[in-house]
Structure 1
Amino acid sequence: MSLPPRGTSAYDFSEESLPSRLSNPHHRRQRSDVAPPPPPPRRRASHTPRQTFSHYQSNSVGSDSSETVPTDNADLDDQESRYTVDQEAQPSQHDGQIAQGDKTEDGGDHSHSRPKLPLRARLAHFTWAWYTLVMSTGGLSLLIFVQPHQFPGLRQIGLVVYIINIILFVLVSSAMVTRFFLHPGTFKKSLTHQREGFFFPTFFLSIATIITSTQRYTIRAMSPDDPTPPGPPGLLWLIQAAFWVYLILTIIVAVGQYSFLFASHTFLLTNMMPTWILPIFPIMLSGTIASVIAGTQPLSQSLPIITAGLTCQGLGVAVAFMMYSHMVGRLMQAGLPDREHRPGLFMCVGPPAFTALAFIGLANSLPNNFDHDMDGLMETNMIRTMAIIGAGFLWALSFWWFGIAVVAVAQKPPKFFHLGWWASVFPNTGFILATISLGKEFQNEPVLWFASVVSIFLLGAYGFVLYHHVRAVIFQDIMYPGRDEDVEDH
């Protein structure tokens, strides 16, 4: 290896030294005493759209995550800057869709300020889920009526709640019609949307609570074998007609909506939510309605009502059990839902609870002389005993789901209000009603007191959810683009 002449600097670009340096490719290695310049500092990743681009840039080659693309820092800065500007320049999603970057565990688009919108624009996001308020209020009126420990004026309070529920039903229905009138095309879109469409059956659940509450607060109870009911015959006929119309419509919903879902949407079981049970819920409550109204109907009309109610109740709980298998599989594979949707787990409490309530009510509505052949096979007391046993089994399942939902919500309470919070009221109403029915059948006073205590907690839950519901409307947390059930966020 030739060295430069003595006295010649390594950085001397004179004519004598330049050829020797150009002809020596290892010239840089000869100056080991000169330290190389330090590498540029590495930028720390931040939770901004710039990180998203860098992550994409480092993982876009091949399937090996360790293989990266060498990119000049200046070019990377320029590309990332353009990406950030493009992200910030995206228009706000006022058509009910959220940008992917805004879908968080908060359960919707909660990442930007909310400019005030006029009522007309907000009505475009008035979804079917608003009927959860109505059916929860109706369930509360029923719960007040059947309380085992009454005090003077309690039934009058229940009557007021019943009237308020009717008013709420009219107001919500009027708002829904206004939405469809002011925003053409939203009716079909609401029924076919893969999330909001599941809440369409809550309209019929609200009607179910109105029918049963009307029976409780307008017609006195009577003996099942009394052919002359004490209530007005016209009102009895009206309730009977409402039951049969309700049954026919809910059968259409149960068959039609599931048929549409099977043909038009593809859902992953890892994303399953309890709202998948809702299309079968209304037909299942036909049995609950029958258990309430059959006892006051004439004998010739009560038996068809009992038969139809038992059949529909069996259909509903059977489909719910099939959904339960998928729900448990989803929880085992994908874990609990996001915190904003965990109150929806209380929906799983409803089917076994309302079925237990229906079993006891339908058995008690049978006439004492139901065993026409007198062979003991259809003896009324035996049927009632079997109904109580079956109701006890179903109540235990309902209690298990109740515990699962309570633990899930307690682990991660929701932060932002969603109309799904009402799931913590209506299904639990069925659980308490079933508890009261079992306590009365067993003549167990501690069980009845347990039901009374839980009723107080349910009343507190109703007030808590109602407060946040009103607050969410005022502060535009709901009825706002990207924050309602007309957008998919889970």
Structure 2
Amino acid sequence: MSTGGLAIAIAETPHKFKGLHTIGLIIFIFNIVLFLIFSTCMTTRCILYPSHVKQALIHPSESFFIGSFWLSISVIIGGIQVYGITYGPAYPFLIPAVYVLYWMYAACSLANSIAQYYVLIRWSAVRPVPFTPPMFLAGYSAMLTGSIASLVAPFQPPPRAVVVLFSGLAFKGFGIMISFVCIGFFVHFLLEKGLPPPQLRPALFIPVGSIAYTIVALIGLADAIPSYGYFAAHPTAKETLKIMALFVSVFMWLFAFWFFCIAFLANISCIGKMPFGLSWWAFIFPNVGFMLATEMMGKELDSAPILWVASGMTVGVVGIWIVAVVGCVRAVWKGRIVWPGRDEDKDL
């Protein structure tokens, strides 16, 4: 999820140097390899320990991470669009293929969001269901449909583009509303319980992404409006909606920045006391969205300073991704994670 997001961030960063596209493409391919390896491991686990499947579905701390699976698929689709079409060879078969993948993901992500929340409402093994930042992920998986739509729509034929635009907007609206519900629980949790343990604090960045990816979708969808159908009948709609998208994005950006600052201060205060945990990967994915949102606002405003800030954010995301990779490999090697009784499934 985070590695695929990094590949998209590298492709979209405002200031590029020779060879950067190749680096991003390598990371994108590496991400697909990781996805296949991890999916094989999870499938093997399900076959060897079938009872764990049901237990994982009804246990909150494990269940919410199912959303990461779908989010990983979303960035793979986004990567295919970016490296195969937007900045790639744009083979004729890729455009309809991505369109089909978009609709497959839209259907699966919505079904996942409905099923995950309903299963926990109906059969949760823990009552009350405890709030944790990964609660965002089920809604995130559907919300990212809107972000994918903003990447896909500009390169589809007008009839398809209009359908992608409106469906992407609907999914983005669904996702942000779910996120606002979670944000209320999130702030209440922090005020009531205080900061989580150091190894879990990277997850505090998750709400940043819920706002940031909404900005990405709003600006991207407005830019992708074709002169077809409804928009041909209302020729001023595109210009009006582009202005609205930018103003709403500026309106929301500072809210994302506020969450970023809270999470940043919470994490910076425990440097040196934070053992590696899987939540470290939350350093990357939400902040990829924050970088993309900043970059798109900079382009719309034609602001060089904002674009340089976005490029600086890309450098920061790359740096923390390297730190997370090293920390993850070391933790697995030393048996601190991905071993029985050491991760989110320790209570199953």
Q: TM-score range by the shorter chain?
A: over 0.9
| Equivalent runs, 1:70-89 vs 2, <5 Å | none
Quote the offset at 1:341 in angstroms: 1.0
Residue 467 in structure 1 maps to residue 326 in structure 2: yes
Residue 253 in structure 1 maps to residue 119 in structure 2: no
Give the counterpart of 1:346 among 186, 205, 209.
205
The equivalent residue for 1:433 is: 292
Residues 303-344 of structure 1 show CA distances to partners (whole Å, capped at 9, x for unaligned) of: 111110000000000110111111111111221112221111
Residues 8-57 of structure 1 show CA distances to partners (whole Å, capped at 9, x for unaligned) of: xxxxxxxxxxxxxxxxxxxxxxxxxxxxxxxxxxxxxxxxxxxxxxxxxx
| Equivalent runs, 1:114-129 vs 2, <5 Å | none
Structure 2 gaps, min length 5: none
In structure 2, C-alpha distance between the alignment counterparts of 1:221 and 1:140, rounded to whole Å: 16
| Equivalent runs, 1:91-240 vs 2, <5 Å | 135-220=1-86, 231-240=90-99
In structure 2, C-alpha distance between the alignment counterparts of 1:373 and 1:172, rounded to whole Å: 48
| Secondary structure, counterpart of 1:486 in structure 2 | coil
Quote the offset at 1:364 in angstroms: 0.4
Quote the offset at 1:286 in angstroms: 0.3
Task: Choose 474-483 or 278-287, whichever is displaced more.
Answer: 474-483
Residue 404 in structure 1 maps to residue 262 in structure 2: yes
Residues 98-151 of structure 1 show CA distances to partners (whole Å, capped at 9, x for unaligned) of: xxxxxxxxxxxxxxxxxxxxxxxxxxxxxxxxxxxxx11101100110111111
Work out the percentage of aligned pairs sharing the same amino acid: 37
CA contact (8 A) 2:57 2:119 kept: no
* Bigger Rg, which one: 1
Quote the offset at 1:455 in angstroms: 1.3
In structure 2, C-alpha distance between the alignment counterparts of 1:219 and 1:273, rounded to whole Å: 37
Residues 231-285 of structure 1 show CA distances to partners (whole Å, capped at 9, x for unaligned) of: 333211111111111111111111111011112225558x522111111111000
Question: Aligned residues, how many?
Answer: 345
CA contact (8 A) 2:158 2:227 kept: no
CA contact (8 A) 1:195 1:488 kept: no
The equivalent residue for 1:125 is: none
| Equivalent runs, 1:377-456 vs 2, <5 Å | 379-413=237-271, 414-456=273-315
Quote the offset at 1:454 in angstroms: 1.7
**Match for 1:382: what amino acid?**
T
In structure 2, C-alpha distance between the alignment counterparts of 1:141 and 1:400, rounded to whole Å: 26
In structure 2, C-alpha distance between the alignment counterparts of 1:365 and 1:252, rounded to whole Å: 27
CA contact (8 A) 1:195 1:487 kept: no
CA contact (8 A) 2:225 2:231 kept: no
Residue 358 in structure 1 maps to residue 217 in structure 2: yes
In structure 2, C-alpha distance between the alignment counterparts of 1:250 and 1:399, rounded to whole Å: 27
Over aligned residues, Cα RMSD in angstroms? 1.8
Give the structure-2-normalised TM-score.
Answer: 0.95
Q: Residues 371 and 179 from structure 1, CA distance in 2 versus in 1: closer, same or farther, beyond 3 angstroms?
A: closer
Quote the offset at 1:444 in angstroms: 0.7
> After the TM superposition, which parts of structure 1 deviate over 6 Å for at least 4 consecutive aligned residues?
none
The equivalent residue for 2:167 is: 308
The equivalent residue for 2:123 is: 264
Residue 318 in structure 1 maps to residue 177 in structure 2: yes
**The structure with more helix, counted as a fraction of residues:** 2
Give the structure-1-normalised TM-score.
Answer: 0.68
| Secondary structure, counterpart of 1:249 in structure 2 | helix
**Match for 1:410: what amino acid?**
I
Q: Residues 383 and 420 from structure 1, CA distance in 2 versus in 1: closer, same or farther, beyond 3 angstroms?
A: same
| Secondary structure, counterpart of 2:232 in structure 1 | coil
CA contact (8 A) 2:161 2:226 kept: no
CA contact (8 A) 2:7 2:27 kept: yes
